[in-house]
Amino acid sequence: MSTVPATPDHALPPPAATGAWREGDPVGRRRWYAASAPLPLEAGGELPGVRLAFETWGRLAPDRSNAVLVLHALTGDSHVAGPVEPGHPSPGWWNALVGPGRALDTDHWFVVAPNVLGGCQGSTGPASPRPGGGQSGSGRSRGGRPWGGAFPFLTQRDQVAAEAGLADALGIDRWALVLGGSMGGMRAVEWAVSHPERTGALLLLATSAEASAEHIAWADIQLRAIRDDPHWQGGDYHDTGRGPLAGLGLARRVAHVTYRAEPELQARFGRLPQGAEDPWHGGRYRVASYLDHHADKLNRRFDAASYVVLTEAMNAHDVGRGRGGTRAALARVTAPTLVAGVDSDRLYPLAQQERLAALIPSADRVRVVESAYGHDGFLIETEQVGTMVRELLAPSAPTRPGRDP
């Protein structure tokens, strides 16, 4: 793996105040679902004007039995597969899993991937126009004044409720498979608990039944980094020309270290300086340059306020809340289930997946993804993940409905 980008970050123009997709930007492969009524929220109140951006691959069978729901992690989006193109600044994050002949074979399966509610790549979130919010006084707003800091608190259950509305709009009563890793796994287990009759099979990767104290502790550092940035402005920065980029960049640096594994970082970077820089005289170590690069990349494609909303939703994750506890909640799952952890994951250690597998009555033994890459192994080790996808889908493989035109 390269330790530095082909085009140095300092050679790029400065990022905008937000990397969110906004009205007037290229649409790319996105489609939209618009809710017909406000969404009631678990924390109280409701969210009007809900829209979910989503992408699809393959063709829905006449009996609608071949639909698969893929749920992304914190800074992911709907672009699971496909190249960099207008509207999609990054390649598909699971390219090796989706397509003809791949684990999610689009000659057979209709794959649906929504951008999560609260996200920033086309779905309703803090950067979206607030219904009835009027125009921004700055004149920079596209489509009306953004929600900004007034965007409400969300939970994983709210996000799944919005996704259930998308499924209804597509005419999908039951998913053949629901799968996701990390934050996507949180939503996947909520799907199986909230809608067992709509979840045909379940794959949970590098996730947990509830956010742990350590998850919340790491998240708190990241939230404080963003909110302490003077350009945070209470979340109302989107049309001011200055966003909390330093804070979001620091949050990303912290998060990225937790996503990887110490042996990998040591093997790749050790104590080497970055190029000709001298760490004894203000220069960087190579590992610091690597973190700088990832911070800059995220600032160009993500929104700080969405990062806050989604991180708070992850902190609130507790599948047993209001359901008699974790054991009682997971007893509702009826779908054939595989739970997998990454052997080098220090953010979601394997014990958390072992607990999920033990408490889900329909789960097989916990599977272990062998990887040097830590938590990110669920994204990188696509051959191992693909084997599990094929195992779950094999019993229900449909006849070929035809390729997506």
Model pLDDT for residues 290-302, shown as the tens digit of each residue: 999 999 999 999 9
Q: Give the chain's mean pLDDT.
A: 94
User: What confidence tier does 5 reach under pLDDT thresholds 50, 70, 90?
Assistant: very low
Mean pLDDT (whole number) for 302-321: 98
Question: What CATH number matches the domain at 9-396, 3.40.50.300, 3.40.50.2020, 3.40.33.10, 3.40.50.1820?
Answer: 3.40.50.1820
pLDDT at 398: 58
pLDDT at 73: 98
Q: What is the pLDDT of residues 189-213, one digit of tens each?
A: 999 999 999 999 999 999 999 999 9
**Catalytically annotated residues:** 182, 345, 375
Q: How confident is the model at residue 144 (pLDDT cuts 50, 70, 90)?
A: confident
pTM assigned to the model: 0.94
Residue 403: pLDDT band (50, 70, 90) is very low
Q: What is the mean pLDDT of residues 219-230?
A: 98
Q: pLDDT tier at 139 (50, 70, 90 boundaries)?
A: very low
Structure tokens belonging to residue 30:
């996105």
Residue pLDDT, tens place only, 39-96: 999 999 999 999 999 999 999 999 999 999 999 999 999 999 999 999 999 999 999 9
Residue range 320-371, pLDDT digits in tens? 999 999 999 999 999 999 999 999 999 999 999 999 999 999 999 999 999 9
Q: Give residue 12's pLDDT band: very low, low, confident or very high (50, 70, 90).
A: confident
Predicted pLDDT at 117: 99
For residue 261, pLDDT beyond 90: yes
pLDDT at 137 > cutoff 50: no
Whether 232 shows a pLDDT value over 50: the answer reads yes
Q: What are the sequence ranges of the domains in the chain? A: 9-396
Can you give the pLDDT at residue 337? Answer: 98
Question: Given a cut of 50, is residue 169 above it in pLDDT?
Answer: yes
Is it the case that residue 6 has pLDDT exceeding 50? Answer: no
pLDDT for 9 equals 60
**Alpha-carbon torsion angle 299, 300, 305, 308, nearest 10:** -50
- 141: pLDDT strictly greater than 50: no
Instruction: Give the 3-state DSSP-derived string for the chain, with helices as H, strands as E and coil as C.
Output: CCCCCCCCHHHCCCCCCCCCCCCCCCCCCCEEEECCCCEECCCCCEECCCEEEEEEECCCCCCCCCEEEEECCCCCCCCCCCCCECCECCCCCCHHHECCCCCECCCCCEEEEECCCCCCCCCCCCCCECCCCCCCCCCCCCCCCECHHHCCCCCHHHHHHHHHHHHHHHCCCCECEEEEECHHHHHHHHHHHHCHHHECCEEEECCCCECCHHHHHHHHHHHHHHHCCCCCHHHCCCCCCCCCHHHHHHHHHHHHHHHCCHHHHHHHHCCCECCCCCHHHCCCEHHHHHHHHHHHHHHHHCCHHHHHHHHHHHHCCECCCCCCCHHHHHCCCCCCEEEEEECCCCCCCHHHHHHHHHHCCCECCCEEECCCCHHHHHHHCHHHHHHHHHHHHHHHCCCCCCCCC
